[in-house]
Structures are given as C-alpha cells and as structure tokens.
C-alpha cells in the first residue's frame, strides 16, 4: 500500500505573515509529502474540519502575531472534541521559549521556532506521524 | 569620470595585477569561495577600480547632495545639519499601556512616535469581533474608536512631535480618529505632522493585511492624498513600503523595484484624479528595510533616490521638492535570530549603520528579543542607544555620503538601478502593478527568493552565526513582555459602555451618509471624519465600506 | 472496514475521509468497503470542471456550490492538483478559494494529488466520487487542471463536463491543445469582464460550427458571482437531456468500463512490480534486453505468458 503523508499547513488568526508557512509547505512537498494549504485567516474550527475532510496526518500551525495562545490549544481541544486522536499537531512562528512547555502541556506535539532547519521538521514528521 | 588615457593605463595595470600578483597569490592562498554574491545574488568582483564606473557621469549620475538626481542625499548638509529622527515602532495592549510606553520612549530621547496596531485594528475589526479572539493587543495597540485614540495620545504634544502610524486597510479611518482627537484638544489639523502607512499595494504583494479589493482601496488612498494636500499639509499621507516586501522574502533588488513600482502607481492614480503632481508629491514618503549585506543595502538606498527623482521628472514633476525621496528605515526583523538573541544587537548595529550611510531620514532599530516576542522595555532602550551611538560617537555623520565615490558602492548603485529597471519593464509587460498582483507575479517572485534563501542557509552557503555556525546549547534567558490578559476584558467593557453612552442616532446617520458617498465618487474623508466624531467604531465604519466595496481574495502562490 | 463503510453511508465525515485515503493509497482492503458503497451510489449528478491553470476554476466551483446550497442540495467536491514528478510531493491549494464553504456541514471538500501512481489517478477519483455519492451528496464536482491525458481521463467520470476558459487567445490555444474542446458539454468564459470576452465567445462558436458539435457557452465573472445561475441552468438542462436520451446510462457504462479496466491494469502492474517472482524475472528480462540478447516485444510475450499461467 502506498503511503503518503498528508500535511495541513494552516494560518490561524489574522496575522498575514505567510513567508514561513509557505517555505515550510514547499519543503514538505519537496520531501514528497502532500501539503494542503488553507490560506490565511482560519479559525480553529475551520482548521479542524479541513483536517478531517482531508484526512491529514499532520496539522502544521503558523503564527507570528503572538496569538498561538489561545489558538493552538484551541485546535487541539476541538480535535479531541471530535474524537480525533491520530493527528500530529505541530506549530511554529514567533513563540517565546517559556510558552513552549505550556503549548506542549496543552497537547501540541512539537513547536519549531525561528531558525529551525527545514530538514528537522521533515524528519520530525516522518518519525512521529501517528498512523 | 576619467579621461581615456588614464583609463587605458589603469586597464593595463589591472591586467598585469590579475595575471601576475593575483595569480601568484592565489597559488599560495586560494579564495574562500568560488564566487561571492550579495543577498540579491549579484556577483561581487574581487576588486573595483575606476574601470567599473567609467560610464558614470559625475554630474548627471552622482551629483551633489540636495541636487538632482540626489544620489548623495536629499539635503545639502545631511546629518551635519540635523540628525535623522529616532523613531521606535511600538504599541501593545490597551491604549493606556501604549501611552505609557510612548512617554517612556520620549523621555529617553526618542524624537518621533510610531504606532503599531494590533491585528483586529489592522483589519478594521473591533476588539469584540469573533475574528479578534486571541489577537487583542498582541502585535500592537487596539484602537476601536475615537475614545481609544484620545487615550493613546493623552498628554502627548501632538502639535510638536510627529507620529507615524502603521495602518493600511483602514488607514483613512484611523487617520480621521487622530485628526478628531487632536481637534478635540484644540489642535488644528494644519499643525499635525506625521505619516500614515496607507500603502495597500504592498499588502497584496507581501504583508497580506488587506481588506478591500484594489480599485476601491486605491480610491481611498487618493482620497487621503487629496484631503491631506488641502487640509493637513504637514502630513505624509502615504509611506510606500519596501520593508514588508523584504520581510516576506524579497531580495534587495526586488524590494527596491517593487516599492518604486508601487510608488509610481500611486502617483499615476493621483494624477488621473486630476491632482497636481507638485502639490501632492512632496507628501509622499518611503519606508525601507536595512538587511545584512552592508554595501548592497547602501547601494539600494542611493539607487532608490536616483530612480525616484528620474521617474518623477518623467511623470511631470517640476518642483525640486517633488523629486525628493524621503524615507524611514527599519532594520530587518527577519534577520534576527532566536538563537543567542544578544548578538542581534550587533546585527542591528550594522544594519542601522547601512541605513545612515544610505542617507535615511528616520530610523527604527529592532530590539534583540524580537525573534521571540514583543520587545521588553530594556531591549527597546538598547536598540535606541544603538542609534545614539552611531549618531554621536561614530563620526559617520560628520560628512555627507562618505561612501560616495567608492568604486564598489557606485558600481553597485548603478547595478541595482539596472536590475530594478528590468523589473519595471516586466511589470509593464504584465499590464501594470495591479494586473501583476492579480496574476501573482510579485508573490511568486518573493516566494521563490524566500525559498532559495532558506535553502542556501540549510546548505550552509549563507552563514548565520548561531543558527548554522557557532551554534550553542543555551538556556534562553530574556525577559519577555507579556500583554496583560485583563486588558482585553477592559477594552471590550469600554467599547460596550461607549456604545451605550453615545448618541446612536447620530452614529446611524453618519454611517448611512458614508455609505451613500461610498456608492458615489466623492472624497470620503469628510464623511469618515463625521463617523469617527460620532463615535462610530472602527468596525462599524469599516463594515459600511466592506458592504459597498467587497473584500479582497488573494491568488494563492507558493 | 465494513463498519467504516457503514459510517460513511451515514455521512460520517471522518469515515468518508478515511475511505478516500484508502482509495488514494490503492489499498486492497478497500474492496470490502466498496462492496457496500457501490450499490448505494449512482444518485448524484457528477459535474467535471476543467480548464488550464489560472482560469478561476476553484472560485467558480465555490460559487456553484454556494448556489446549490441555496437550493438545499448537498455538495461534494474533489479537487485534483498535479503531483511533482520529481519529488512525489504536491501543494494542494484549491481549498483556499473555497473558504466560504469551510464551515458548511453539507459540503465536503477533498484535495487530491495526481500522484502518478500505478493504479492510475482516475481510479482513486472514481472511488472518491462513489464514496461521496453513497454518503448522500446530491451534487459532486470534480476539478482538474486539464493539461495531461491523465487529467482528461479523470474528467470522463463526469456526467456533465464544464470546460472553463478566460478571454485571450493564449488560453484558447492551450485549451485546444490540451484536448479539452472535444470533452466539453458546456463552455464557460470566465472573467468575462475582461476585454476580449466577446471574441473568445465568437471563436468558440465558429470552432463548434466547423466541428458540428454545438454546446452552450456561458459567460461568468466568478469573483462577482455573475452568470453562475445561468451556468447551473445549463448544467441542469444537460443532465435532463442525458436522462431523456439514455445518454446518461451510456456515459455511466463507459465510466465503469474505464474503471474496471483501470483496476485490472493497476493490479497487473502491481503484480509485475511488487510480486517477488515477477520482479526477479522482469529484472532478468531487462538485463537481457539491455545486453541485446532479447528484444522488448519478445520479452513482453514471456511476461504475459507468466501472468496468464
């Protein structure tokens, strides 16, 4: 059976800085993954619904506005509410180091800050997809 | 610039130098790389001599400061007369908190204010809008009504200092609030000085904080240009910005070319409204990025001035003042690293120095912690001190354009100009700036550059200290500014009380008059001023325009 | 698997999504599910929308879907984008244009990469359409970029095929080259507010006169939502005509024939590449062909003989 990792790259909130999201999206594609891009200004509800319809293995959230709280944990909460426990949730952006443990405690699987090598993200996804 | 005989002898010397000296030396010590390139990918030669600028004409291409084509600066004495404005972009949380930060900065020697608004405000939403959830006060201050604006500038002498406001989609509304708040304090609008960014084209191209489609957006911008020209003569009604284009991943060449293309587009739009170019051109200002490649940045600034002066002349500008490119510079946020954040101070210093050597009129230096969060008070102070050291200790301000005449800098300046011209031609082929946006041209060019840059970093071809070389395991110990969560609740409460208190029939009337005007083709500024004075909120006013104008949908480009 | 299929029939979105994934990956366990799915499919009207890059297909589909929703019909959308032949990855961005549908529970949107895989692309799209159909969607819209034969094949799934163009000669020629003229049941000239729309319509009409195949031409401006009502009327007329003339049945027979052959071909290819005994013998044959000991045709005979044994 052919296995293809599907990643939903989403920008929650109002912030329009999509450079990072797009660079990561391209890197994942170049690593052979299928990347579904949602565009800007997504609510957590939209992101979760899209992830379900697209049967994504991974949700990658990008926020540079500081709105990772409460938006990232909200995505995790909605997934749980819908009974989804097999989607890997990762995030990136301008995220203060002391927020990372809090995001993880809230159920975000991993957080990648500025300067993360693209390959590290690719490898992390390959090793950690839940199905 | 040199006579033929002299050039011939230099050419001969250079040939010998290459064949003998360099060849020998390379045998002993090969160069560190096969080729050296600027961030724009321009190949840099080993050495520059008069031969590289033999086509340049000193009087026509370089000239004197304060004189056409202004390559060496727009003022005759530059920083010997007056230093640039120290202007730190700031804003967070509620209007009260930001008002305090403004006072702190002014007390520490800042000479102009620069307001950052939060995301809901940038999109014309009030703090109580569902899309505002989680965004309040995070990237700037929330301003939902005239009341917030009054608090934001309380006790600040807006008739004496200038204020720059980074606002685009709802720029006309926010500007109207500033004018109305000042008038309420008895300060007439003729006395107000400052800038609204009001540059929607670069939002479509790069930063994506747009609201309306291009056509009505351009109308609103020309409305503000016209209104400013007539009633707020000291105000810069637009700040044509390359900063965000660069942050989105563009190269220096792309930043230069796209920004100027946008600038000419606004000028053409205002001319086709029937405005006199020499009346509005002096109020146009620019905003550039200062990135890492020192000389390329300096060449970019010099080329920008020359290109603008030449282009404006072609568009029919007669007054010298109309040919000036006045610009604000901010050091490159995207160059800051989350790793070893303290060393960002050094990056910022070099970038700021490039801006000063490039002849900037005002400067923002980034704080060392901005790859992690909003800057703390101490980090902002260090950033401001960086400017003060350059201004008062380094001596680079003692003479005008100290790098003018450098073979390399002059060559690179010319090269930047040529590359920009090439982009102008391509944009023209695509039918102009707006059609090129709709076709995704800029977005594609920028996405390509961003990806290429990232790959160069990954492969180690571009060294970033602390990221791909000299990496350290470290505990990051930077005090982080937190936005008070209570502020959001207080702001929503204030908004609720305002809506109870205000005369709602006045609000309704002013909004419906705005709607009718928007459906026609009058200048909307007086109507918007009426709305904000009746305490219609930002969201309510923007919604009226959304209803008439529709909203922009972007083409998706990777 | 049976349980997953039952859930999909009840409209469970996660089950639908998971089944489509199994179809995409060419899973053999899908057979069990399709036994349940297939008898319940066949009620939906399947509309194919194709055209070269940048003609505004996704926006148009979004507008169509919004109108269908106003009529109370549920909608499934399958948006196909090319997979990179070099990396095997894909960027699927059609959803961005369909944001207004994002929070509607009666709309299901699925993005697919062409993947260029052994089973053939159309196989997975057929299955996806059947799954959405059986789950109760009234209208299913399949979007493809009409550039290659594989994409043109996909569009044969549709009962009604809409070919989208924009004003301008370049697109017209590309559309002809891509073989999209032959498969159109309805032409849409989108972005008709642009200059040159009239001449594009005229060219289309004169093209059709030459080929003696007349189909409706509708002008739309999808970003403004103009012309979409008219398009839906034409789509409905076409569907009615298919039903009245018995053409619907002929088209569906053709659809199932293509699907059947594809499944068989896919399985054969899989056997040749994946099963130990064939992989070895194929490898050996290739070596002999390379060395000039054997020609490819004779080698093929040997492989076929092995398969049929």
Q: C36-42 long-range CB contacts below 8 Å, 24 or more apart? A: C36/C2, C36/C5, C36/C6, C36/C9, C37/C5, C37/C8, C37/C9, C37/C130, C37/C131, C37/C134, C38/C130, C38/C134, C40/C9, C40/C133, C40/C134, C41/C129, C41/C130, C41/C131, C41/C133, C41/C134, C42/C133, C42/C252
C73, C104 contact by CB (below 8 A): no
Residue B556 touches partner C, C-beta closer than 8 Å:
yes
State whether residue B392 sits within 8 Å of chain A by CB. no
Which pLDDT band holds residue B475 (cuts at 50, 70, 90)?
Answer: confident
pLDDT tens for each residue of C136-195:
999 999 998 876 666 677 777 899 999 998 887 677 777 777 677 788 999 999 988 888
B491 closest CA partner among B194, B128, B174, B6: B128
Q: What is residue B44's predicted lDDT score, i.e. its pLDDT?
A: 97
Residue A112 scores a pLDDT above 50: yes
Main-chain dihedrals φ then ψ at residue B261, nearest 5 degrees: -60, -45
Q: State the sign of the Cα–Cα–Cα–Cα dihedral B300, B302, B304, B307.
A: negative
DSSP character for C292? T
Domain layout of chain A by residue ranges: 6-128
* Strand bridging mode C107-113 / C75-81: parallel
Sequence-distant (6+) residues with CB within 8 A of C275 are: none
CB pair distance less than 8 Å for B556 and C97: yes
**Considering Cα of C299, then C304, then C306, then C309, what sign does the dihedral take?**
negative
Q: Are C222 and C60 in contact (CB under 8 A)?
A: yes
SS3 of residue A12 by DSSP? strand
Give ipTM to 2 decimals: 0.92
Average pLDDT over residues B316-330: 97
Q: Do C96 and B556 touch (CB under 8 A)?
A: yes
Mean pLDDT of chain A: 93
User: CB distance from B470 to chain A under 8 Å?
Assistant: no
Phi, psi of B459 (to 5 degrees): -80, -5
Position C121 pLDDT exceeds 70: no
The set of residues, in sequence order, having a beta carbon less than 8 Å from that of B2 and lying 6+ positions away, is: B10, B50, B54
Which structural domains are found in chain B, ordered by start?
A: 59-458 (3.20.20.240)
Q: What is the mean pLDDT of residues C109-135?
A: 83
Extract long-range pairs of B508-517: CB within 8 Å, 24+ residues apart. B509/B534, B510/B534, B510/B536, B511/B536, B511/B540, B511/B541, B511/B544, B514/B541, B514/B544, B514/B545, B515/B544, B515/B547, B515/B548
**How many Cα atoms are found within 13 Å in the side-chain-facing hemisphere of A4?**
32
Q: B483, A66: Cβ pair inside 8 Å?
A: yes
Contact A78, A108 (CB under 8 A): no
Residues B532 and B180 sit within 8 Å (Cβ to Cβ): yes
High-pLDDT (> 70) share of chain B, % = 100
Q: What are residue A41's DSSP bridge partners?
A: none
CB contact under 8 A, B454 and A27: yes
Q: What is the pLDDT of residues A27-71, one digit of tens each?
A: 999 999 999 998 898 999 999 999 999 999 999 999 988 889 899
Mark out chain A residues that contact chain C at CB-CB < 8 A.
Answer: 1-4, 6, 25-26, 28-39, 42-43, 45-46, 49-50, 52-55, 82-84
Residues B186-201 have pLDDT tens digits of: 999 999 999 999 999 9
Nearest residue to B300 (alpha-carbon basis) of B243, B339, B345, B244: B243
Chains in contact with C, where contact means 3 or more Cβ–Cβ distances below 8 Å, are A, B
Q: Which of A3, A9, A34, A39 should we substitute to test contact with C (largest number of C Cβ atoms within 10 Å)? A: A34
Distance from CA of C54 to the nearest CA of B (A): 8
On chain A, the residues whose CB falls within 8 A of the CB of B335 are none
Structure tokens at A55: 């049967």
Average pLDDT over residues B155-171: 95
Backbone Cα Rg of chain A: 13
pLDDT category at A20 given cuts 50, 70, 90 is very high
Work out the burial of residue B96: count CB atoms within 10 Å of its CB; fewer than 13 is exposed, 13-18 middle, 19 or more buried: middle
Nearest chain B residue to C100, by CA: B553
Is any Cβ of chain C less than 8 angstroms from the Cβ of B558?
A: yes
Q: Which helix (H) or strand (E) holds C48?
A: strand C45-51
A49 neighbourhood in chain C, CB within 8 Å = 13, 102-103
A22 and B447 within 8 Å at the Cβ level: the answer is yes
The confidence band for C57, taking pLDDT boundaries of 50, 70 and 90, is very high
Q: How many angstroms separate the CA of residue A115 from the nearest CA in chain C?
A: 23
Residue C48 has pLDDT above 80, yes or no: yes
Question: Average pLDDT of chain B?
Answer: 95
Interchain contact A18–B (C-beta under 8 A)? yes
Q: To which H or E segment does residue C47 belong?
A: strand C45-51
Residue entry with tokens 């000028």 = B267
> A23: nearest CA in chain B?
B451
The minimum CA-CA distance between C90 and chain B, rounded to whole Å, is: 11
Go through B252-284 and write b for each residue having 16 or more CB atoms within 10 A of its CB, e for each that does not: bbbbbbbbbbbbbbbbebbbebebebbbbbbbb
Asked whether the beta carbons of A4 and B94 are under 8 A apart, the reply is no
Of residues B439 and A110, the one with the higher pLDDT is: A110
Predicted confidence at residue C116, as pLDDT, reads: 67
Q: Which residue has the tokens 């709607």?
A: B515
pLDDT band at B393 (very low <50, low <70, confident <90, very high): very high
d(CA B60, CA B67): 10
Mean pLDDT of all residues in B270-297:
97
Main-chain phi, psi angles of B383, to 5 degrees: -60, -40
Query: Which chain C residues are Cβ-neighbours of A52 within 8 angstroms?
Result: 13-14, 17
Chain-chain contact of C91 with B558 (C-beta, under 8 angstroms): yes
Q: Are B310 and B414 in contact (CB under 8 A)?
A: no
Cα(B183)–Cα(C135) distance, integer angstroms: 63
Q: Tell me how far the alpha carbon of residue A69 is from its chain's centroid.
A: 14
CA dist B550 and B538 (Å) reads 17
Q: Top-level CATH class of A6-128?
A: alpha beta
- CA–CA gap between residue C91 and residue A30 (Å, rounded): 10
pLDDT of residue C118: 44
Q: Per the structure block, which two tokens stand in for B403? A: 């790098």
Q: Cβ of C96 under 8 Å from any chain B Cβ?
A: yes
pLDDT of residue C254: 87
Does A32 touch chain B if contact means CB atoms closer than 8 Å? no
In chain C, residues with a C-beta closer than 8 Å to the C-beta of A28 are: 89
CB nearest A71 (choices: B134, B209, B334): B134
> A60 vs chain C: nearest CA distance in angstroms?
14
- Is the distance from CB of B56 to CB of B410 less than 8 angstroms? yes
CB atoms A49 and C18 under 8 Å: no
- pLDDT at position C37 is 96
Residues B33, B36, B40, B43: is their CA dihedral positive or negative? Answer: negative
Q: Which CB contacts under 8 angstroms, 24+ apart, belong to C192-197? A: C192/C167, C192/C219, C192/C220, C192/C221, C192/C226, C192/C227, C193/C221, C193/C224, C194/C166, C194/C167, C194/C168, C195/C167, C196/C167, C196/C168, C196/C169, C197/C167
Which range is least confidently modeled, A100-114, B205-219, C111-125? C111-125
Whether residue B174 contacts residue B213, with contact meaning beta carbons closer than 8 Å, is answered with: no
Say yes or no for a CB contact (<8 Å) between A67 and B464: no
DSSP states of B370-400: TTTSSPPHHHHHHHHHHHHHHHHTS-TTSSS
Interface with C, mutate which of B556, B557, B558 (most C CBs under 10 A): B556
Task: Say if the Cβ atoms of C83 and A34 lie within 8 Å.
Answer: yes
A53/C26 CB distance under 8 A:
no
Across the A:B interface, residue pairs with CB atoms under 8 Å apart total 103
Q: pLDDT per residue over C240-284, tens digit each?
A: 999 999 999 999 998 888 888 888 887 888 788 777 667 778 888
pLDDT at C169: 63
Mean predicted confidence (pLDDT) in B231-235: 97
Most confident of A63-77, B233-247, C213-227, C280-294: B233-247
């Amino acid at each position: 059976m052919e296995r293809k990792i599907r990643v939903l790259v989403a920008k929650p909130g109002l912030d329009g800085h999509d450079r990072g999201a797009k660079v990561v999206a391209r890197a994942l594609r170049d690593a052979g993954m299928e990347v579904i891009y949602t565009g800007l200004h997504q609510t957590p509800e939209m992101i979760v619904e899209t992830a379900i319809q697209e049967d994504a293995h991974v949700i990658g959230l990008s926020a540079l506005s500081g709105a990772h709280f409460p938006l990232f944990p909200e995505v995790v909460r909605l997934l749980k509410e819908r009974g989804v426990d097999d989607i890997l949730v990762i995030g990136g952006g301008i995220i203060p180091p002391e927020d990372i443990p809090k995001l993880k405690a809230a159920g975000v699987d991993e957080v990648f800050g500025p300067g993360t090598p693209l390959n590290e993200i690719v490898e992390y996804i390959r090793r950690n997809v839940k199905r | 610039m040199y006579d033929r005989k002299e050039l011939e002898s230099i050419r001969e010397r250079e040939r010998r130098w290459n064949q003998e000296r360099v060849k020998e030396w390379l045998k002993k010590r090969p160069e560190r790389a096969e080729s050296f390139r600027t961030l724009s990918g321009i190949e840099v030669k080993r050495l520059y001599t008069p031969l590289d600028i033999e086509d340049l004409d000193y009087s026509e291409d370089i000239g004197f400061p304060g004189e056409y084509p202004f390559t060496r600066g727009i003022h005759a004495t530059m920083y010997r007369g007056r230093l640039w404005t120290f202007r730190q972009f700031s804003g967070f949380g509620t209007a009260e908190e930001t008002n305090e930060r403004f006072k702190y900065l002014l007390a520490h020697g800042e000479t102009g204010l620069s307001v950052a608004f939060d995301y809901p405000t940038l999109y014309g939403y009030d703090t109580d809008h569902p899309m505002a959830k989680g965004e309040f006060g995070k990237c700037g201050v929330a301003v939902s009504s005239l009341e917030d604006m009054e608090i934001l500038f309380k006790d600040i002498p807006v008739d004496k200092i200038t204020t720059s406001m980074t606002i685009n989609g709802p720029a006309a509304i926010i500007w109207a609030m500033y004018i109305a708040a000042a008038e309420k304090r008895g300060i007439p609008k003729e006395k107000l000085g400052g800038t609204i960014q009001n540059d929607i084209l670069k939002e479509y191209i790069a930063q994506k904080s747009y609201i309306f489609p291009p056509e009505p957006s351009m109308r609103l911008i020309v409305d503000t240009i016209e209104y400013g020209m007539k009633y707020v003569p000291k105000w810069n009604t637009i700040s044509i910005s390359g900063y965000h284009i660069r942050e989105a991943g563009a190269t220096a060449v792309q930043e230069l070319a796209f920004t100027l293309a946008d600038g000419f587009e606004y000028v053409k739009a205002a001319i086709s409204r029937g405005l006199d170019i020499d009346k509005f051109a002096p109020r146009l200002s620019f905003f550039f990025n200062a990135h890492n490649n020192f000389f390329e940045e300096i060449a970019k600034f010099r080329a920008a001035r020359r290109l603008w002066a030449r282009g404006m002349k072609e568009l029919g500008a007669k007054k010298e003042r109309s040919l000036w490119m006045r610009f604000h510079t901010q050091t490159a946020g995207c160059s800051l690293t989350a790793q070893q954040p303290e060393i960002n101070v050094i990056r910022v210093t070099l970038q700021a120095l490039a801006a000063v050597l490039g002849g900037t009129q005002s400067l923002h230096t980034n704080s060392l912690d901005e790859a992690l969060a909003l800057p703390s008070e101490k980090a902002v102070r260090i950033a401001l001190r960086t400017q003060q050291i350059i201004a008062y200790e380094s001596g680079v301000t003692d003479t005008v354009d100290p790098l003018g005449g450098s073979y390399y800098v002059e060559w690179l300046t010319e090269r930047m100009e040529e590359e920009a011209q090439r982009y102008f031609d391509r944009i023209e082929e695509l039918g102009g700036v707006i059609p090129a946006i709709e076709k995704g041209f800029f977005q594609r060019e920028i996405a390509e550059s961003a990806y290429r840059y990232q790959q160069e970093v990954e492969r180690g071809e571009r060294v970033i200290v602390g990221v791909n070389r000299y990496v350290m395991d470290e505990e990051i110990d930077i005090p982080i500014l937190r936005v008070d969560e209570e502020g959001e609740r207080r702001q929503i409460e204030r908004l609720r009380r305002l809506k109870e208190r205000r005369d709602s029939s006045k609000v309704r009337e002013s909004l419906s008059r705005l709607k009718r005007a928007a459906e026609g083709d009058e200048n909307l500024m007086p109507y918007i001023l009426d709305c904000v004075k009746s305490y219609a909120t930002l969201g309510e006013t923007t919604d009226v325009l959304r209803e008439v104008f529709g909203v922009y949908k972007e083409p998706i480009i990777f | 698997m049976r349980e997953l299929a039952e859930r999909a029939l009840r409209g469970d979105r996660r089950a639908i999504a998971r089944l489509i994934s199994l179809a995409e990956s060419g899973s053999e366990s899908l057979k069990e599910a399709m036994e349940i799915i297939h008898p319940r499919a066949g009620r939906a009207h399947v509309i194919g929308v194709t055209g070269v890059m940048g003609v505004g297909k996704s926006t148009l589909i979004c507008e169509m879907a919004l109108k269908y929703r106003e009529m109370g019909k549920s909608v499934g959308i399958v948006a196909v984008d090319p997979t990179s032949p070099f990396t095997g990855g894909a960027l699927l961005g059609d959803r961005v244009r369909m944001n207004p549908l994002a929070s509607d529970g009666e709309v299901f949107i699925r993005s697919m990469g062409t993947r260029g895989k052994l089973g053939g692309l159309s196989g997975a799209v057929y299955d996806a359409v059947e799954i959405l159909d059986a789950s109760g969607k009234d209208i299913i819209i399949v979007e493809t970029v009409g550039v290659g034969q594989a994409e043109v094949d996909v569009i044969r799934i549709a009962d009604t095929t809409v070919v989208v163009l924009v004003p301008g000669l370049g697109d017209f020629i590309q559309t002809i080259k891509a073989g999209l003229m032959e498969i159109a049941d309805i032409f849409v000239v989108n972005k008709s507010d642009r200059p040159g729309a009239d001449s594009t319509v005229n060219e289309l009409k004169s093209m059709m006169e030459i080929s003696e195949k007349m189909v409706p031409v509708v002008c739309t401006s999808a970003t403004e939502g103009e012309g979409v009502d008219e398009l839906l009327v034409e789509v409905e007329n076409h569907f009615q005509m298919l039903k009245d003339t018995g053409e619907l049945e002929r088209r569906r027979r053709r659809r199932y024939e293509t699907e059947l052959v594809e499944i068989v071909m896919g399985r054969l290819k899989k056997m040749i590449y994946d099963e130990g005994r064939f992989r070895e013998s194929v490898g050996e044959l290739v070596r002999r062909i390379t060395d000039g000991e054997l020609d490819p045709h004779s080698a093929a005979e040997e492989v076929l003989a092995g398969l049929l044994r």
